[in-house]
């Protein structure tokens, strides 16, 4: 399960998509929908203690699964310094989130349609002079409030929780957080440190997804 797989398939049910991945994404989808029903969690940010733990793959496949189930879904890339969603969907990153937050463009002008009807993407956009100031702006709150009225789910692909303050700031503005950790890579101490950092930011941790090769994904929701 890796980024190249996501680029090729984006949850298309073909020979390139492992059945174990499809089944676990379906379980995560059901948990997310149940959490949304119980706690009105529609803006969910996905993060990890460090890079290359699998969160982008999970975000793209989950977004596609929700869209294929009839939900209107927006994916937002908030990893401004190392964005990946535009690469996965093969779209330009010249206009995106940062243009919206700095007032250069509207969200409507910046959102991209994917090859899946109900799935749209807001790429990260160009790097601004200060990502922290951009994420602390009232424009972000206004944007999320407006977009939440247009989409059933907003899934945020963020930078690792321990890479600066951007993710923690954004997480505090979301309904919930799902942390992705990778078997054999994520150290327990780093995972606990990331969890504590999110708690200090007053983020609502909904669950954890373990990327456990070769077994696939294992998820636990609270």
Render pLDDT for 145-154 as a digit per residue (tens, 0 to 9).
999 999 999 9
pLDDT band at 14 (very low <50, low <70, confident <90, very high): low
Cα–Cα distance, 151 to 149 (Å, whole number): 6
Residue 97 CB coordination number (10 Å): 31
pLDDT, mean of residues 203-221: 74
For the chain, what are the domain ranges?
A: 3-221
Q: Which residues contact 12 (CB under 8 A, 6 or more apart)?
A: none
Please give the residue that has the higher pLDDT: either 2 or 124: 124
Cα–Cα distance, 218 to 31 (Å, whole number): 12
- pLDDT the model gives residue 19: 76
Q: Which of 87, 113, 83 is nearest to 98 (CA)?
A: 83
- pLDDT the model gives residue 24: 85
Cα–Cα distance, 25 to 185 (Å, whole number): 21
Cα–Cα distance, 15 to 163 (Å, whole number): 36
- pLDDT the model gives residue 16: 64
CATH number of 3-221: 3.40.50.300
Contact 44, 153 (CB under 8 A): yes
* CA-based end-to-end distance of the chain: 25
Cα–Cα distance, 120 to 151 (Å, whole number): 10
């Amino acid at each position: 399960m890796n980024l190249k797989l996501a680029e090729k398939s984006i949850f298309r049910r073909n020979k390139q998509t492992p059945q174990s991945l499809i089944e676990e994404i379906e379980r995560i989808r059901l948990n997310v929908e149940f959490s949304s029903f119980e706690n009105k969690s529609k803006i969910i940010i996905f993060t990890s203690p460090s890079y290359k733990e699998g969160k982008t793959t999970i975000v793209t496949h989950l977004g596609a699964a929700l869209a294929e189930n009839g939900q209107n879904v927006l994916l937002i890339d908030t990893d401004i310094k190392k964005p990946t969603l535009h690469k996965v969907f093969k779209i330009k990153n010249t206009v995106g989130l940062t243009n919206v937050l700095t007032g250069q463009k509207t969200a409507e002008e910046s959102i991209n349609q994917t090859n899946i009807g109900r799935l749209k993407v807001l790429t990260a956009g160009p790097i601004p002079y200060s990502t922290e100031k951009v994420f602390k702006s009232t424009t972000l709150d206004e944007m999320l409030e407006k977009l939440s009225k247009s989409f059933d789910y907003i899934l945020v692909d963020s930078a690792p929780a321990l890479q600066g303050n951007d993710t923690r700031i954004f997480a505090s503005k979301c309904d919930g957080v799902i942390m992705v950790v990778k078997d054999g890579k994520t150290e327990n101490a780093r995972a606990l440190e990331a969890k504590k950092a999110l708690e200090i930011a007053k983020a609502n941790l909904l669950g954890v997804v373990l990327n456990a090769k070769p077994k696939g994904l294992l998820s636990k929701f609270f």
